[in-house]
Amino acid sequence: MSDPVAASARGRFIVFEGADGTGKSTQAARLAERLDAVLTREPGGTPIGSKIRTLVLDPDHPELDDRTETLLMAADRAQHVAEVIGPALASGRHVVSDRHVASSLAYQGVGRGLGVDAVAAVNAFGLDGVRPDLTVLLVLDTSDAQSRIGSPDRIEAAGSGLARAVADAYRSFAADRSDWVVVDASGSIDAVAERVWSAVEEHLT
Ligand code: TYD
């Protein structure tokens, strides 16, 4: 294992974001292994979060209100910060998370039309000041990404309209942000992993 960020006493928090089907989970796992980091995800990174995940993604509940969806994601995140992310960073471990608050800004704030500022405000309460050191945005053509989705969950079932809005939202979040890096997610898993690694080395050393 080589660690480009070993000098810091506090661990670094690296988040993967992107539309469904861009390969975040695979790349998050690869990076976590290389950094010997805690690998986690939202929603569902804790036992409580896992119950919230089942509820919020259940295709049998199409009546779930968009605001309720937002609050459930924020509740999952609050527990995740308190139970996993905060303690790991404080102990000096790096944390790699498959999604974090930017997912809510993109899916609920833009995709569901609730507003980025409103969704950010709801989430701030649960974040307790925790903030990613680096966000890796994986980008892929929307139809290619959609074709990689197997059996869709409740949110994926919303289809390509939501997916396009989410992809555009992410692009706008990443623009001019030095703590975001945009990585082309096309090609082999190894090729994308190398692009991610170069970006992490460049941004966190
Ligand atoms: P994810 O676990 O990335 O999907 P997969 O089942 O493919 O691994 O995310 C589940 C879904 O939840 C995905 O459609 C994105 C959505 N989501 C939100 O809408 N808001 C959020 O805050 C988060 C974390 C996820």
pLDDT tens string 98-114: 999 999 999 999 999 99
CATH number at residue 171: 3.40.50.300
Bond before 59 cis per omega within 30 degrees: no
| Residue 107 Cα: closest atom of ligand 1 | 19
| Residue 6 located in a structural domain | no
- Domain of residue 182 covers 13-204
Does 107 sit in the ligand 1 pocket, CB within 6 Å?
yes
At 122, the amino acid letter reads V
State the Cα–Cα distance between residues 21 and 125, nearest whole angstrom: 30
Q: How far is the CA of 56 from the centre of ligand 1 (A)?
A: 9
| Residue 196 located in a structural domain | yes
Residue with tokens 């810091």: 8
| Residue 71 located in a structural domain | yes
Q: How far is the CA of 43 from the centre of ligand 1 (A)?
A: 7
| Residue 43 located in a structural domain | yes
| Residue 156 Cα: closest atom of ligand 1 | 14
| Residue 8 located in a structural domain | no
Q: How far is the CA of 142 from the centre of ligand 1 (A)?
A: 16
| Residue 20 located in a structural domain | yes
Provide the number of structural domains found in the chain. 1
Of all helices (H) and strands (E), which one includes residue 182?
strand 180-184
| Residue 74 Cα: closest atom of ligand 1 | 22
Cα dist. 178→106, 111, 135 in Å? Answer: 19, 24, 10
| Residue 2 located in a structural domain | no
Q: pLDDT 10s digit of each residue in the chain, 205 long? A: 555 555 458 999 999 999 988 999 999 999 999 999 999 999 999 999 999 999 999 999 999 999 999 999 999 999 999 999 999 999 999 999 999 999 999 999 999 999 999 999 999 999 999 999 999 999 998 888 888 888 888 888 887 888 899 999 999 999 979 999 999 999 999 999 999 999 999 998 7
Does 104 sit in the ligand 1 pocket, CB within 6 Å?
yes
| Residue 73 Cα: closest atom of ligand 1 | 22
| Residue 174 located in a structural domain | yes
Q: Which residues contact 167 (CB under 8 A, 6 or more apart)?
A: 19, 139, 142, 145
Does 43 sit in the ligand 1 pocket, CB within 6 Å?
yes
